Amino acid sequence: MAVTKVVMPKLSEAMETGKLLRWLKQEGDRISGGDIIAEIETDKADIELEAFGSGVLRKLLATPGTAVPVGELIAVIAEPGDDISAVVGGAPARPVAAPAPTPVPAAAPAAAPVPSAPAPAGVTSAAMVLPPGRLRVSPLARKLAQRASIDLARVTGTGPGGRIIQRDIEASVAARPPAAAGRPAAVAATMPAVAAMAPAVARTGPDTEDVPLSPIRAAIARQMTQSKAPVPHFYITTEIAMERAAALREELQALPGAPKVTFTDVVVRACAVTLQKHPGVNASFTGDAIRRHRAAHIGIAVAVEDGLITPVLRDCDRKSLFQIAAESRDLVERTRARKLRQQELSGATFSVSNLGMFPVDEFSAIINPPEGAILAVGAIVDKPVVVDGQLAVGKRMRVTLSADHRVMDGAMGARFLADLKAALEAPLALLV
Amino acid sequence: MAVITYREALNHALREEMERDDRVFLVGEEVGVYGGAYKVSQGLLEKFGERRVVDTPICESGFTGVGIGSAMVGLRPIVEMMTFNFALVALDQIVNHAAKLFYMSGGQFPIPLVIRGPGGPAHQLAAQHSQSMESYFCHVPGLKVVRPTAPRDAKGLLKSSIRDDNPVIFIESETLYGVKGEVPDDADFLIPLGVAEVKREGRDVTAVAYSGMYYRVLEAAEEVEKTDGISVEIVDPRTLRPMDTETILASVRKTHRVLVAESGAGFAGMGSEIASFITESAFDDLDAPVTRIFGANAPMPYARNLERLKTPSKERIIDAIRKLCSV
Q: Which CATH topology does A232-431 take?
A: Chloramphenicol Acetyltransferase (3.30.559)
| C-alpha span between A11 and B61 (Å, rounded) | 63
Question: Is the domain defined by A4-124 classed in CATH 2.40.50.100?
Answer: yes
Q: Which CATH topology does A139-176 take?
A: Dihydrolipoamide Transferase (4.10.320)
Do A139 and B284 count as a contact with CB atoms less than 8 A apart? yes
Each residue of B153-182: pLDDT tens digit?
A: 999 999 999 999 999 999 999 999 999 999
- The domain spans of chain A are 4-124, 139-176, 232-431
Going by their DSSP bridges, the two strands B197-200 and B205-208 should be labelled as unpaired
The complex's ipTM works out to 0.74
| C-alpha span between B273 and B261 (Å, rounded) | 12
Point out the residues of chain A with pLDDT beneath 50.
91-132, 180-199
**Chain A / chain B CB contacts < 8 angstroms:** 43
What confidence score (pLDDT) does residue A123 get? 34
How far away is chain A from the Cα of B252, in angstroms, using its nearest Cα?
A: 11
Which residue of A140, A158, A286 is in closest CB contact with B326? A158
User: Does the pLDDT value for residue B193 go beyond 70?
Assistant: yes
Confidence bin at B219 (pLDDT 50/70/90) = very high
What confidence score (pLDDT) does residue A45 get? 74
Q: Using alpha carbons only, what angle is made at residue A309 by residues A293 and A70, rounded to the nearest 5 degrees?
A: 80
Active site residues of B: 60, 129
What confidence score (pLDDT) does residue A27 get? 87
- Domain B197-324 class, CATH top level: alpha beta
User: Does the pLDDT value for residue B11 go beyond 60?
Assistant: yes
Largest CA distance in chain A: 85
What would the mean pLDDT of B85-98 be, rounded to a whole number? 97
What confidence score (pLDDT) does residue A178 get? 59
- Burial-class residue A74 by CB neighbours within 10 Å (0-12, 13-18, 19+): buried
What confidence score (pLDDT) does residue A203 get? 62
- Residues of chain A neighbouring B225 (CB-CB closer than 8 A): 230
Chain B touched by A146 (CB under 8 Å): no
Which of A10, A12, A155, A165 should we substitute to test contact with B (largest number of B Cβ atoms within 10 Å)? A165
Which residue of B223, B225, B256 is in closest CB contact with A140? B256
What confidence score (pLDDT) does residue A377 get? 97
Cα distances (angstroms) measured from residue B313 to each of A234, B210, B306, B308, B325: 37, 15, 12, 7, 19
Chain B touched by A138 (CB under 8 Å): yes
* CB distance A40 to A8 below 8 Å: yes
pTM, 2 dp = 0.53
Closest listed residue to residue B67, CA positions, set B25, B118, B117: B25
User: Does the pLDDT value for residue B68 go beyond 90?
Assistant: yes
Chain B touched by A165 (CB under 8 Å): yes
What confidence score (pLDDT) does residue A127 get? 34
- Phi first, then psi: what are they for A76, rounded to 5°? -130, 130
How far away is chain B from the Cα of A100, in angstroms, using its nearest Cα?
A: 23
* CB distance A252 to A321 below 8 Å: yes
| C-alpha span between A41 and A215 (Å, rounded) | 10
Q: Do the domains spanning B2-183 and B197-324 agree at the CATH topology level?
A: yes
Looking at per-residue confidence, does A286 or B207 come out higher? B207
Cα distances (angstroms) measured from residue A322 to each of A230, A269, A349, A351: 38, 10, 21, 19
- The domain spans of chain B are 2-183, 197-324
User: Does the pLDDT value for residue B314 go beyond 90?
Assistant: yes
User: Does the pLDDT value for residue B217 go beyond 90?
Assistant: yes
Chain B touched by A142 (CB under 8 Å): yes
| C-alpha span between A265 and A320 (Å, rounded) | 10
- Phi first, then psi: what are they for B64, rounded to 5°? -70, -40
- Residues of chain A neighbouring B327 (CB-CB closer than 8 A): 16, 69-70
Architecture of domain B2-183: 3-Layer(aba) Sandwich (3.40)
| C-alpha span between A139 and A322 (Å, rounded) | 58
| A101 upstream amide cis, omega within 30 of 0 | no
Do B327 and A16 count as a contact with CB atoms less than 8 A apart? yes
